[in-house]
A = this chain, B = another copy of it.
Amino acid sequence: MTAETGTPAAEPAASAVQAPPAKGPLPRTGIGPARPRGRQDWSSWPSYDSAVLGFRNFWYPVAWASQVARAPLGVTVCGERVVLARGKDGRVRGLHDRCPHRGVPLSLGKQEFPGTVSCPYHGWTFDLEGGRLCAVITDGPDSPVCGKVTVRSYPVEERLGLVWVWIGDPDPAPIDQQLPEELTAGDPFTLGGRIDIRGGNWRFACENGYDEGHAKYLHRTSLWRTFKTMPTWNLTHIEKHGRWIYRVQDEVHWEADFPGLGTWTNYRWWKKKPPKETFNIGNTGKAKRIDPVIAKHAFPGFASLSLPGVLRIVYPTFIHYEFYVPVNTDSHRYVGAMVNFGTGWRVAEFIAKYLGGIRWLFHGQFSGQDKWMVDVTDAPPERLYRPDVSLTTWRKLCVDSGALPQPLDVVDQKA
Query: A residues touching B (Cβ–Cβ < 8 Å)?
Result: 4, 7, 9, 13-23, 26-27, 29-32, 36-38, 40, 56, 80, 96, 98, 100-105, 108, 112-113, 116, 118, 120-125, 131, 134-141, 143-145, 147-153, 169-170, 211-214, 216-218, 232-233, 235, 253, 256-262, 264, 373, 376-387, 404-407, 409-410, 413-415
A115 to B405, CA, bound (A): 45
Do residues A36 and B385 form an inter-chain contact, with CB atoms below 8 A? no
In the complex with contacts A17-B151, A56-B27, A410-B19, A140-B214 CB distance below 8 A: no
> Can you report 26 A-B residue pairs in the complex whose CB atoms are below 8 A from each other?
A4-B144, A13-B147, A14-B150, A16-B131, A17-B96, A18-B415, A26-B404, A26-B407, A29-B410, A31-B170, A32-B150, A100-B383, A101-B382, A102-B379, A105-B376, A108-B376, A113-B264, A121-B218, A122-B387, A123-B213, A138-B213, A139-B386, A140-B235, A141-B258, A145-B383, A381-B415
A406 to B19, CA, bound (A): 12
In the complex with contacts A80-B29, A264-B137, A217-B152 CB distance below 8 A: no
* Complex interface: chain B residues within 8 A of A29 (CB): 56, 80, 406-407, 410, 413
* Complex interface: chain B residues within 8 A of A141 (CB): 256-259
Q: Report which of B103, B131, B143, B170 forms a contact with A377, defined as CB distance below 8 A.
A: B103
* Complex interface: chain B residues within 8 A of A214 (CB): 121-122, 138
Give A169 Cβ to nearest chain B Cβ, in Å: 7
* Complex interface: chain B residues within 8 A of A264 (CB): 112-113, 137
A384 to B139, CA, bound (A): 12
Question: Would you list the 6 A-B pairs with minimal beta carbon distance, nearest first?
Answer: A103-B378, A123-B217, A138-B213, A140-B233, A113-B261, A135-B258
* Complex interface: chain B residues within 8 A of A37 (CB): 100, 149, 415
A264 to B19, CA, bound (A): 55
* Complex interface: chain B residues within 8 A of A122 (CB): 211, 213-214, 217-218, 385, 387
* Complex interface: chain B residues within 8 A of A380 (CB): 414
Q: Report which of B4, B32, B144, B260 forms a contact with A152, defined as CB distance below 8 A.
A: B32
Do residues A407 and B27 form an inter-chain contact, with CB atoms below 8 A? yes
Chain A contact residues: helix, strand, loop or mixed: loop
A13 to B153, CA, bound (A): 17
Interface centre among A135, A378, A385 (most CB of B within 10 A): A385
Do residues A17 and B121 form an inter-chain contact, with CB atoms below 8 A? no
For A124, the closest partner residue in chain B by CB is B385
Give A273 Cβ to nearest chain B Cβ, in Å: 20
Interface centre among A21, A116, A147, A217 (most CB of B within 10 A): A217
* Complex interface: chain B residues within 8 A of A121 (CB): 214, 217-218, 373, 377
Do residues A16 and B137 form an inter-chain contact, with CB atoms below 8 A? no
Give A116 Cβ to nearest chain B Cβ, in Å: 7
For A215, the closest partner residue in chain B by CB is B138
For A7, the closest partner residue in chain B by CB is B145
Do residues B415 and A38 form an inter-chain contact, with CB atoms below 8 A? yes
Give A79 Cβ to nearest chain B Cβ, in Å: 9
A218 to B119, CA, bound (A): 9
In the complex with contacts A13-B147, A16-B150, A139-B385, A104-B373 CB distance below 8 A: yes
Q: Report which of B32, B143, B262, B385 forms a contact with A136, defined as CB distance below 8 A.
A: B385
Do residues A27 and B134 form an inter-chain contact, with CB atoms below 8 A? no
A131 to B140, CA, bound (A): 57
A218 to B101, CA, bound (A): 14
Give A1 Cβ to nearest chain B Cβ, in Å: 11
